[in-house]
Amino acid sequence: MQAVILAAGLGTRLQPVTRDRSKAMVPALGRPLVERALMPYAANGIRDFVLVVGADDQEIRRHFSGRSDLDVTTRFAVQEERLGMANALAAAAHLLEGPFVLSACDSLVSVEHVGEVLRAADSADAVLSLLEVDMELVARSASVELDGVRVRRIVEKPAPGEAVSNTVSLPHYVFPRRLIDRLPGVGRSARGEYEIQDAIQALIDDGETVVGIRAEDRYQVSTPEDLLALTIRLLREEVEPTQTATAQVGAGTDLIGPFRIEAGVEIGDHCEIGPDVYLESGSSVGNGAVIRESVVLRNARVLADQRVVGKILSSLVSASRTALSPPGFPDEN
C-alpha cells in the first residue's frame, strides 16, 4: 500500500516558527513534523510515500534525499495552490497505483492506531480514523454519523446545529484507488476549498462500505504552544535523562536531563540547561543563561544571563523580549 502525506501547508498559525521553513519541516525533537507523521505508517510496513508539497519547499526535498534515516521511498507531488485536501490529493493522483493511505503532516497518532486502521481496510472499501471531542470543538473538524462502525454521513466543519455527532474524522484515511474518480465531482465549499469529505460522502452514497476506527488520542500541531508541548512530551518519552551532549559546552555549565542538544550548538560558561530543553543546530547560548522547558531553534541566540522558561525561541524573535510563552508556563524574562 502507498501513503500520501499532505505537507504543503504554510503553517500560518505556527509563526514565527514557520517564517523560514514550511510547517512540514518544523522540527519536533530533531525530526521534521512530516517525518513524525509518516513514521507510524513506516512502522506498520508501508515503504512507498508520496509527499504533497509546496512548489518552493526545497528543504523537504533535501531532507528526504539524504538526511532522513528512515528506510522508505519518497516521491513528491506539488500542490500549486492550497485549495483543500481533495485538491492536494488530485495533485498526487498520477503517482497512485492502488489502495492508499491519506494523512496530514500535522496530525500525529500512535503506531497501534495506524495498525488498527490498516487492518480494518482488509474488510472495508474505505476506513476513517475517528475521535470523540467536546461538542464545541466539532465545528473545527468533520462530524461523522455512524451505524455501528459503518459511516453513514460526514459533514466538514458543520455550522452550528448541523453537526451529526461529536465524533469527528481525523486526517488519517485508507481509500480505494477509485476514490480518485470522485475528485472531479467535488466542488468548492463555502470556504473556497475542495473538501475530501465530499468525495467520501460520494463513496457512501454509492453503497461502498466506509468504516470508522476510534483513536484514543491524537496530537495536533497547529500553534507554537502545540509544538512546545509535543517537544517536551517527546523528550520525556525518547531521551534518557543521563545522556551527555556532543555540542560545544562551556566551563561550569550544568546539563539537566532530559534534553537534546544537536551538533553545531554553542553554549557558554556557567549556564543551566534543562530539564526538558531542545536546542536545534545553529543556535547559541550566552554565558550564565538558564533554559528550562523550552525550545531554541536554529539561528536563535539566548543572551548572556537570560532566563528562558516555557518558551520557543526562533531566529526571528528577540530572545530578550518577545519569545513565545505558552499558557501555563511562567514568564521569567
DSSP code per residue over 218-287: -EE--SHHHHHHHHHHHHHHH--TT----SEE-TT-EE-SSEEE-TT-EE-SS-EE-SSEEE-TT-EE-T
pLDDT at 136: 85
From CA 258, how far away is CA 327, in angstroms rounded? 22
Helix (H) or strand (E) holding 203: helix 196-205
Cross-strand pairs, 154: 144
C-alpha closest to that of 306 among 284, 278, 281 = 284
Helix (H) or strand (E) holding 43: helix 33-43
The one-letter code for the residue type at 180 is I
118, 174 contact by CB (below 8 A): yes
pLDDT at 262: 94
C-alpha closest to that of 117 among 203, 215, 198 = 215
pLDDT at 212: 97
Per-residue pLDDT in tens (0 to 9) along the chain, 333 residues: 999 999 999 899 999 999 999 999 999 999 999 999 999 999 999 999 999 999 999 999 999 998 899 999 999 999 999 999 999 999 999 999 999 999 999 999 999 999 999 999 999 999 999 999 998 888 888 999 999 999 999 998 888 788 899 999 999 999 999 999 999 999 998 888 999 999 999 999 999 999 999 999 999 999 999 999 999 999 999 998 788 888 889 999 999 999 999 999 999 999 999 999 999 999 999 999 999 999 999 999 999 999 999 999 997 654 443 344 443 333 332
Instruction: Give Dmax over CA atoms of the chain in angstroms.
Output: 69
pLDDT at 321: 38
pLDDT at 202: 95
The cell numbers describing 44, all together, are 506498520
Residues of the chain with CATH 2.160.10.10: 224-313
Q: Is 174 exposed, middle or buried (0-12, 13-18, 19+ CB in 10 A)?
A: buried
Residues of the chain with CATH 3.90.550.10: 2-220
Residue whose cell numbers read 538558564? 290
pLDDT at 299: 93
3-state secondary structure of 66: helix
pLDDT at 316: 60
From CA 18, how far away is CA 316, in angstroms rounded? 10
The Cβ of residue 209 has, within 10 Å, a number of other Cβ atoms equal to 14
Cross-strand pairs, 170: 129
For domain 224-313, the CATH class is mainly beta
The cell numbers describing 114, all together, are 495506524
Q: What would be the CATH architecture of the domain defined by 2-220? A: Alpha-Beta Complex (3.90)
